[in-house]
């Protein structure tokens, strides 16, 4: 396994991302351009979920929509992990962020004052939500379920990832592989490897760098298939999680109630493939967050109570950092 994957602990990642998101200005509420208080520049932050070189391009339709509708310039910031985005929100250097459900609850627990703008739905009329897969190589007969992950090199996405760490940890706890997601319990049950992305985790399993691992369903079923990096049958799915609340866009609450209400309306009514393609802002497939999705639907804090319940099951250190 490449040392850059195996050896990068959460603290080191958080520091590098914090430097990335706070080194520049922005997100300070200056230069208001509208009665609703939106600043002249909005900082939008996200982490890679596929190929980091394509991430900014995946957000271009949304960025253009925000600019057209509000008159604000959008500055896109890319971090390498969830911790950097959360720290940027807390420090006031990020105005809008795309977070996984776990990262959202962690951000709140750590004092981030944020408001949900909406969650990403895979198709029109389909609720926001997705699942995580437990994976091994397609021809690996030694692994048929999570119980077989014990004592092996297992790829996770990131300690702050909902489908790439938190829900898998709950599954491993229920399977008796680990006692909790705390680092000492995790390493007592298996050898964790943090790959840094859903694509990296799945491909590490494919290449044999990890004997098993976890990744979100759309990455395995669609994104890597479409890109040609994965073929049907290359990976075997040995576990599927319960439905996880959808990843969501949030805004820094200090923008003000009028600004967050305007952004909520913009995201939930216009940030979808139908509107964006109708306005000529993207072609089919229309990318919203670096991968294919229909659009943003309303979301409330209560939608993420199931994540908090999984936190109680896993007793993850990350859940308690607040």
Q: Residue 133 forms beta bridges with which residues?
A: 215, 240
The count of domains in the chain is: 2
DSSP assignment string, 73-139? EEEEEE-SSHHHHHHHHHHT--SEEEE-HHHHHHHHHTT--EEEEEEEESSTTSPSEE-EEEEEETT
Do 114 and 183 fall into the same domain? no
Q: What is the pLDDT along the chain (322 residues), one digit of tens a residue?
A: 333 333 333 333 333 344 344 444 455 444 445 457 789 999 999 876 544 446 777 889 999 999 999 999 999 998 877 788 989 999 999 999 999 888 899 899 889 999 999 999 988 998 898 899 999 999 999 999 999 999 999 999 998 888 999 999 999 999 999 999 999 999 999 999 999 999 999 999 999 999 999 999 989 998 899 999 999 999 999 999 999 999 999 999 999 999 999 999 999 999 999 999 999 998 887 877 766 689 999 999 999 999 999 999 899 887 765 4
Q: With contact defined as beta carbons under 8 Å apart, do 267 and 118 qualify?
A: yes
Do 213 and 283 fall into the same domain? no
Do 19 and 112 fall into the same domain? yes
Do 141 and 286 fall into the same domain? no
Kind and range of the H or E run holding 155? strand 153-156
> Which among 139, 150, 154, 159 is positioned nearest to 11, based on CA atoms?
159
Last residue of a domain, one of 202, 226, 242: 242
- Which residues form the domain of 181? 132-242
Do 219 and 270 fall into the same domain? no
The pLDDT assigned to 54 comes to 61
Q: With contact defined as beta carbons under 8 Å apart, do 88 and 80 qualify?
A: no
> Which among 254, 287, 223 is positioned nearest to 62, based on CA atoms?
287
Helix, strand, or coil here: 204?
helix
Distance CA 9, CA 288 (A): 29
Q: What's the whole-model pTM score? A: 0.74
């Amino acid at each position: 396994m490449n040392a850059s994957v195996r050896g990068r602990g959460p603290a080191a990642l958080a520091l590098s991302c914090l430097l990335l998101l706070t080194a520049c200005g922005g997100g300070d509420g200056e230069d208001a351009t509208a009665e609703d208080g939106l600043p002249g520049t909005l900082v939008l932050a996200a982490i890679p979920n596929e190929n980091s070189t394509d991430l900014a391009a995946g957000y271009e339709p949304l960025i253009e929509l925000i600019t057209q509708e509000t008159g604000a310039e959008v500055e896109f910031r890319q971090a390498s992990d969830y911790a950097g985005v959360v720290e940027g929100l807390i420090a006031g250097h990020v105005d809008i962020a795309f977070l996984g459900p776990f990262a959202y609850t962690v951000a709140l627990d750590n004092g981030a004052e944020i408001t949900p703008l909406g969650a990403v739905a895979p198709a029109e009329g389909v609720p926001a939500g997705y699942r995580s897969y437990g994976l091994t190589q397609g021809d690996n007969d030694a692994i048929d379920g999570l119980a077989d992950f014990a004592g092996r090199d297992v790829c996770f996405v990131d300690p702050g990832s909902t489908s790439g760490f938190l829900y898998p940890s709950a599954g491993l706890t229920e399977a008796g592989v680990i006692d909790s997601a705390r680092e000492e319990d995790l390493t007592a049950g298996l050898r964790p490897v943090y790959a840094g992305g859903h694509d990296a985790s799945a491909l590490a399993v494919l290449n044999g760098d990890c004997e098993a691992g976890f990744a979100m369903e759309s990455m395995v079923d669609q994104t890597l298939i479409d890109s040609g990096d994965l073929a049907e049958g290359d990976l075997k799915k040995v576990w599927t999680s319960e439905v996880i609340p959808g990843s969501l866009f949030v805004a820094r609450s200090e923008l003000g109630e009028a600004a967050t209400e305007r952004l909520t309306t913009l995201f939930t009514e216009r940030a979808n493939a139908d509107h964006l393609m109708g306005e000529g802002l993207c072609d089919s497939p229309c990318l919203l967050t670096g991968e294919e999705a229909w659009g943003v639907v309303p979301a409330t804090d209560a939608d993420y109570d199931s994540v908090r319940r999984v936190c109680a099951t896993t007793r993850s250190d990350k859940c308690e950092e607040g």
